[in-house]
Amino acid sequence: MISVRFLFIFLIGLMAYPLQAAPHAKKLVVLDRMVASVNGEAITESDLNKQTQLLLVRLQQTDTALPPMNVLHKQLLERMILEKLQLQLATQEGVIIDDSTLDNAIEEIASRDNLSLHQMQKFLEEQGIPFAQFCETIKTEITLSKLQQKEVGQNIIISKAEIEHFLTSPAGLGESDTEFRLGHILFPVPEEATKVELDKIEAEAKTIVKQLKTGANFSEVAIAKSSGQQALEGGDLGWRKLGFIPTVFVKVVPTLKVNEIYGPIQDSSGFHIIKLLDKRNTITASLKPKQEVHLRQILIKTSAKRSEPEVEERLAALRQQIVNGASFAQLAQKHSEEMNSATKGGDIGWVSEASVVSEFNQQMAKLKAGEISQPFKTSLGWHLIQIIEKRTRTTPNEALRNKAMEVLYQQKFDEQLISWLRRLRANAEVEIYLNGL
């Protein structure tokens, strides 16, 4: 399955909301005038107009406050420049998306919204978005994701010590079911910034904090000022558990009240301003306590020479022997036809509800430790089981560690991606020709 994070963020919004024609979006005149040059490759005004039109539809459907059009153009053009730089590098690195991968991604989007491909194509074109343009946008975003994984993701290392520290930290997976929705504004700093430069950027960030605390619209300011990845989405980072929040914010976020502004917070990427847009409690099914049972069994199968009543009667006789004091383990070694467990006295180890058939679950639920079931039938044959021990576990240790690794990987990826994009931009030859920029 291709992750939704591969897809262009405006398209995520596009498919998430029932679109209507944007009431305030004016028809844009398509011109071929060059508005920017990226390593000698042009971005034209018609390119910028197309992306502006798409973005306006997305933003107006979510009631996001809009800055002046020249400011919106500036932010959008910067995103297009970064995209162009990455596509140029992808070509150099031989990153190719084949038709099968693209088709699967498009089918996934349609399936997620309960649409057929024909219905999705019709829906998009009713909004004035040609299906071919939609497909090209998806292909671009998959290409960018693949490149980012190659250039950033493969260099990320998660140590065992980091995993253990995370699992015992406040951001650990078992700590809370609270999710936070954050707004984010980033003021980046050059990698070798002087103190004068740092002071100037910090002062600008503090000025913005004052404006926000006195009523300025956060999303409008984020679109106009932020250099974060979600700037054109009003800085909205979406719903995240504490473990998936950028590390620099982890200690602060749980202390904030809804709509509270905090910042600036400084780290290696720059100065951050955050706003707690909302929070909610959720139940994480994977972390609910689960019962596991340690048991042993005797399995006897029917055959042409042994009918079901005969097998059931034989197991009933064995059960009576055990009740009278015989060893379950010894009888299992002698009579059980499940050879892997028979050699261990019928011991099949710890099992959970998800790992056994429903008939086993019914028997396990009603038996206490030490008790023996009546003979019962499954698709494998006839069984006699004895409960050795029961326990309740939140999640197997290995599963917790795998989840912790996923969280830590995403944190590092997000942080390193910002630095990588900043270096890519700094080392490029970019000229901007759009008036006012």
Per-residue pLDDT 10s for the chain (437 aa) are 333 333 333 343 333 333 333 344 444 444 478 999 999 999 998 889 888 887 887 777 677 777 888 888 888 999 999 999 999 999 999 998 988 889 888 888 888 777 888 888 888 888 777 888 889 889 998 999 999 999 998 889 999 898 888 877 766 654 456 889 999 999 988 878 889 999 999 999 999 999 999 999 999 999 999 988 889 888 999 898 887 888 888 889 989 999 999 989 998 889 999 999 999 876 554 445 678 899 999 999 888 788 889 999 999 999 999 999 999 999 999 999 888 888 899 999 998 877 788 888 889 888 999 999 999 998 888 999 999 999 876 555 677 778 788 888 888 898 889 889 989 999 999 999 876 55
User: Cα separations (Å) of 287 from 45, 345, 358, 406?
Assistant: 51, 33, 22, 15
Burial-class residue 168 by CB neighbours within 10 Å (0-12, 13-18, 19+). Answer: exposed
Which residues face 347 on adjacent strands? 296
Give the β-pairing of 261-267 and 236-241: unpaired
Residue 372 has what DSSP assignment? Answer: B
The letter for the amino acid at 139 is: K
Neighbours of 122 (CB within 10 A): 12
Within 8 A by CB and 6+ apart from 252, the residues are 262, 265, 274
Q: What is the pTM of this model?
A: 0.60
**In whole angstroms, what is the distance from residue 412 CA to residue 396 CA?**
25
Residue in 5, 2, 11, 4 with CA at minimum distance from that of residue 131: 11
* CB-based contact 6:145 (threshold 8 Å): yes
Angle value at C-alpha 421, between 419 and 422, nearest 5 degrees: 65
* CB-based contact 274:258 (threshold 8 Å): no
Residue in 228, 127, 173, 63 with CA at minimum distance from that of residue 402: 173
* CB-based contact 316:376 (threshold 8 Å): no
Domains plus CATH for the chain?
4-151 (1.10.4030.10), 175-286+414-432 (3.10.50.40), 289-393 (3.10.50.40)
**How would you label 145-160 residue by residue, b for 16+ Cβ within 10 Å and e otherwise?**
bbbbeebbbeeeebee
Q: What is the pLDDT of residue 15?
A: 36
Q: Could you identify the residue written with the tokens 């270096």?
A: 423
Q: What is the pLDDT of residue 2?
A: 34
266 token code pair: 């400084």
Q: What is the pLDDT of residue 294?
A: 93
